[in-house]
Amino acid sequence: MNSSSSAITDITNAIASQNPFDRPLVVRSQDVWGKGFPDVPSLNAQVSDTIFEAIEKVRLGQRHIFGVTITAEKGLGKSHLISRIRHRLQADGTALFVYMSECADLNRIKTEFLRNLANSLKQIGSQGVSQWRELATALINEAFNKNHTPQQLVNQFPGALAKNPRVVDILRDKILSIKADIENPDILTAIIWTLSPDSGHESFAINWLSGRNLPQSKADELGLANLSNQDKEAESFTTIRQILDLIGRYKPIVICFDELDVPECNEAGFTKAQVVAGIAKDLYNSIKSGVLLTAMYAETWVHQVKVLSYAEAVVDRIGEKVLELKYLNSDDVVTLVATWLKDFYDEKGLTPPYLVYPFDEEKLRELGKERPIVRRVLKWCAENFKVPTEPQPQIPSKNPVESAYIKELEGLVSTIQDYMDDKGVLADSLWLSFSALIGETIEKFQIEDITDITAKAADKGYIDFKIVGKENGKTIKIGVAVLQESGGMFVQATLKRLIDYKKFDFTRGCLVRSKQVNKGATKAQEYLSQLLSPKLGGEWVLLKSEDIKPLLAILLVFYAREDYELSEEEILDFIYENKIAVDNYLIREILSDPSGQVPQDAINEETKGSNVTRSEITNTVSVGADDLFQG
């Protein structure tokens, strides 16, 4: 017994009130970036040490690129280990970190990777600012032979911009003078704009870096050229290569691919692991300074990656080292449980009688002799967390879907804006929720089916799905298009198809969008007017983050259902029983009688952020970039 332990009554009450092990044990992206689960550095230390050694070799110039693959059984701790790597790099600043686990469209893997790259670099790095700002500062310091911190440049940015709106161009040109091989100077322009404390400037710049088109007025204001939609895949990889090249001159980059063991395939029949292995191979050939890290089941590595027609090229690159995670032993089990309990007791301000209280250490060691996985041990703890020899009131176990749903909702607090322009994910979230309502009547509309749109190649990707049902005895087919693009041509093309009821076999068109349609886009406005006219009886449902958030959260549970060990039926039942869909504003508005009105609260991107435009530049006093370095 620890002589300085807390009163046993306080500990007993704490144990009775909360079970720290009764929560989803799946590591998701928010756990990698945030606090996540307690780390036990001794678990698989040989694997993480090997990875840190690889990063150090790259940092010292002994290697340019290193490819490492981690193999492990489900629940053995692959994502825990990746989280450990992320947090070490955030603490010591030896490398920038990129994490990709979600991929909405395997057919556009380069576009998806660029989005994940941009979102990863939005995360806080070792200097207390985003990794984008770290990179921008490094580029400017090198060009001007300065040694400023990112926060200094952020603080001085508004003053310099006010004195001379061309200051970003001046900074870019100075950087170009020492990096003449940059193919697209706009990439430098956008990176510099991330230093602006104006959230409008920063968010639009990062959106552009992620491959999204901006409203034309914003593109003009920031001096960025919007790209055509014709070959986004090829253009995305060109942008990826140039961003990674810039980072590589500053410090190494660690790119982690996770959650590859899923059944989804692209149109060519390749699995997610195979598709990611392909882009990882391409990245290996392009990165000048970094470590590529992939994590998957051993059977995925053997039966999916190593059977590719170009497997030798893949294995030689991403599998230079293949590291296998080990099962736990008795010491590991005791250390794991003690670490989780320390977090619990520290949070309560309590000191237990011994490290693994209320568990019996010998029982934990017996469990360790069975060579368990991490998840099994933590589940055992959840089931046996009670004061020894004293009967305790049972804490009701949470519905496993509810626990996962709450976890994803909490994660969206900081990440939901990353999804608000992701058409595929937004449409999937609506589809899933409608799927849980088949047979139900909402707003006088009885839902009978949710179907894909049958379309030729040129028409694919515009209208997302069709809701079929009965309203007042008549068959109604609602074509739904989620449209978050800012670029005028894509908006025009979508609206043109959304009013072609005959071609796509629906009786009502529904636009789901948060942003205004640019008043200068004449054709798009014409099609919108036709959609909302009494003749077509279409609808514009305003997309708001607070309305889509619960639908996104349950979709993310659905995406990760294998990790959460949940079935499709359990998730659909949870949506129905908890009225996640039936009480949702978006769901009800899509099914309700169309108002024919343009939403008054649609976001006007044309006025968001600064009002300084390029046309004003010639009338400003010529003040140079050195103003950024005053003070």
Q: Which tokens is 136 given?
A: 């921008």
**What contacts 296, CB < 8 A, 6 or more positions away?**
69, 70, 71, 78, 260, 261, 273, 305
The whole-number average pLDDT for the span 418-423 is 90
Beta strand ranges found along 199-301 (DSSP E): 253-257, 290-296
**What contacts 261, CB < 8 A, 6 or more positions away?**
74, 273, 296, 297, 300, 562
| Residue-wise DSSP of 452-474 | PPP--GGGTTTS-EEEEEEETTE
CB 15 within 8 A of CB 358: yes
- Cβ burial of 619 (10 Å; 0-12, 13-18, 19+) is exposed
CA triple 109-404-75, angle to 5 deg: 70
What value does the mean pLDDT of the chain take?
89
Q: What residue spans define the domains of the chain? A: 1-36+330-397, 45-95+252-319, 107-250, 405-591
AA identity, residue 479: G
Residue pLDDT, tens place only, 494-545: 999 999 999 999 999 999 999 999 887 889 999 999 999 999 999 999 999 9
Least-confidence region, from 73-82, 204-213, 470-479, 587-596: 73-82
Give the whole-number percent of the chain exceeding pLDDT 70: 93
Q: Which tokens is 434 given?
A: 């409608």
Q: State how far the Cα of 222 lies from the Cα of 204, in Å rounded to an integer.
A: 9
Q: State how far the Cα of 268 lies from the Cα of 106, in Å rounded to an integer.
A: 10
Q: Running DSSP on this structure, what letter comes out for residue 64?
A: S
CB 194 within 8 A of CB 205: yes
Q: Which long-range contacts (CB under 8 A, 24 or more apart) does 467-470 make?
A: 467/434, 467/590, 467/591, 469/445, 469/591, 470/445, 470/446
Q: Which tokens is 323 given?
A: 């590291």
Q: Does residue 607 carry a pLDDT above 70?
A: no
pLDDT at res. 520:
79
Q: Does residue 29 carry a pLDDT above 90?
A: no
Identify the helix (H) or strand (E) that includes residue 547: helix 545-559
SS3 content of the chain, % helix, strand, coil (to 5): 50, 10, 40
3-state class of 588 per DSSP? helix
- Candidates 573, 563, 575; CA nearest to 263 is 563
Would you say how long the chain is, in residues?
Answer: 631
Instruction: Grade residue 419 by pLDDT with cuts at 50, 70 and 90.
Output: very high
pLDDT at res. 226:
85
400-419 and 545-559 helices, crossing angle to 10°: 120
3-state class of 223 per DSSP? coil
The whole-number average pLDDT for the span 582-605 is 91
CB 154 within 8 A of CB 195: yes
**What contacts 52, CB < 8 A, 6 or more positions away?**
85, 88
Q: Around Cβ 74, how many Cβ atoms within 10 Å?
A: 12
Q: State how far the Cα of 471 lies from the Cα of 560, in Å rounded to an integer.
A: 35
Q: Around Cβ 51, how many Cβ atoms within 10 Å?
A: 23
Identify the helix (H) or strand (E) that includes residue 448: strand 445-451
Decide the pairing of beta strands 508-513 and 474-482. parallel
522-532 and 488-498 helices, crossing angle to 10°: 30
Choose between 255 and 27: higher pLDDT.
Answer: 255
CB 408 within 8 A of CB 558: no
pLDDT at res. 50:
96
Residue pLDDT, tens place only, 272-286: 999 999 999 999 988
Decide the pairing of beta strands 445-451 and 508-513. unpaired
User: Can the peptide bond before residue 534 be classed as cis, meaning omega within 30 degrees of 0?
Assistant: no
Q: Around Cβ 387, how many Cβ atoms within 10 Å?
A: 16
Q: State how far the Cα of 445 lies from the Cα of 470, in Å rounded to an integer.
A: 6
pLDDT at res. 390:
54
Q: Which residue has the tokens 């008795």?
A: 330
Residue pLDDT, tens place only, 36-95: 788 899 999 999 999 999 999 999 999 999 999 999 988 888 888 999 999 999 999 999
pLDDT at res. 61:
92
Residue pLDDT, tens place only, 207-253: 999 998 888 888 999 999 987 766 778 889 999 999 999 999 899 99
Identify the helix (H) or strand (E) that includes residue 100: strand 96-100
Q: State how far the Cα of 570 lies from the Cα of 396, in Å rounded to an integer.
A: 19
Q: Which tokens is 42 given?
A: 């001794």
Query: How distant is the alpha carbon of residue 449 from its chain centre?
Result: 30
Q: Which residue has the tokens 């999916």?
A: 304
- Candidates 503, 502, 524, 505; CA nearest to 513 is 524
Q: Running DSSP on this structure, what letter comes out for residue 533?
A: S
- Candidates 387, 335, 394, 343; CA nearest to 364 is 335
3-state class of 504 per DSSP? helix
Neighbouring-strand partners of residue 470: 446, 475
Q: Where are the alpha helices (DSSP H) in 179-310?
A: 185-193, 199-209, 216-222, 232-248, 272-286, 298-300
Neighbouring-strand partners of residue 324: 71
The whole-number average pLDDT for the span 275-298 is 93
Q: State how far the Cα of 68 lies from the Cα of 141, in Å rounded to an integer.
A: 32
330-348 and 374-384 helices, crossing angle to 10°: 50
Number of H helices, E strands in the chain: 27, 11
Give the whole-number percent of the chain exceeding pLDDT 90: 70
What's the CATH number for 45-95+252-319?
Answer: 3.40.50
Q: State how far the Cα of 73 lies from the Cα of 76, in Å rounded to an integer.
A: 6
568-577 and 400-419 helices, crossing angle to 10°: 80
Q: State how far the Cα of 516 lies from the Cα of 484, in Å rounded to an integer.
A: 10
The whole-number average pLDDT for the span 578-594 is 94
- Candidates 590, 589, 609; CA nearest to 199 is 609
- Candidates 156, 160, 159, 187; CA nearest to 172 is 187
**What contacts 115, CB < 8 A, 6 or more positions away?**
210, 211, 422
